[in-house]
Amino acid sequence: MSISILIVIGALVLFYLDPLKLNTTLYKVLFLLVGLVLASFVFLKSPQGIRLNAFFKETKIELRKVVWPNREETVKTTGMIMVAVVIVAIFLWIVDAFFTWAVQLLTN
């Protein structure tokens, strides 16, 4: 993993300090992208990268097990949430109006 970090740092140094005097942004960006791809490849071959890859595979398997709601359930749930939001908004509006009235009563 430390090798991939060094590759990323080297790519960033080449990009910002420009020791090769490339003078064009295109070449600097290409060197940066090649460095990032190389660092990614090195990381994925390291033990941490292999564990990360296994984690993603397991996550994909678990996502297949999820029971997603159908259209009818989604519409019902969305409707209930919208009604709840309106009720809370009205409640907060009433509380705000009360506190505004109370502050005006105390300040006048």
User: How does pLDDT run across 32-78, given as a tens digit for each residue?
Assistant: 999 999 999 999 999 999 999 999 999 999 999 999 999 999 999 99
pLDDT tens-digit map of 17-33 = 887 787 788 888 998 99
20: DSSP letter: T
Collect all residues with Cβ–Cβ distance below 8 Å to 34 and sequence separation of at least 6: 11
52: DSSP letter: H
What integer pLDDT is reported at residue 1 of this predicted model?
74
User: What does the block give as tokens for 39?
Assistant: 């660092």
User: What does the block give as tokens for 61?
Assistant: 């398997």
Tell whether pTM > 0.85.
Answer: no
Q: Are residues 91 and 85 in contact, defined by beta-carbon separation less than 8 angstroms? A: no
Residue 101 has pLDDT above 90, yes or no: yes
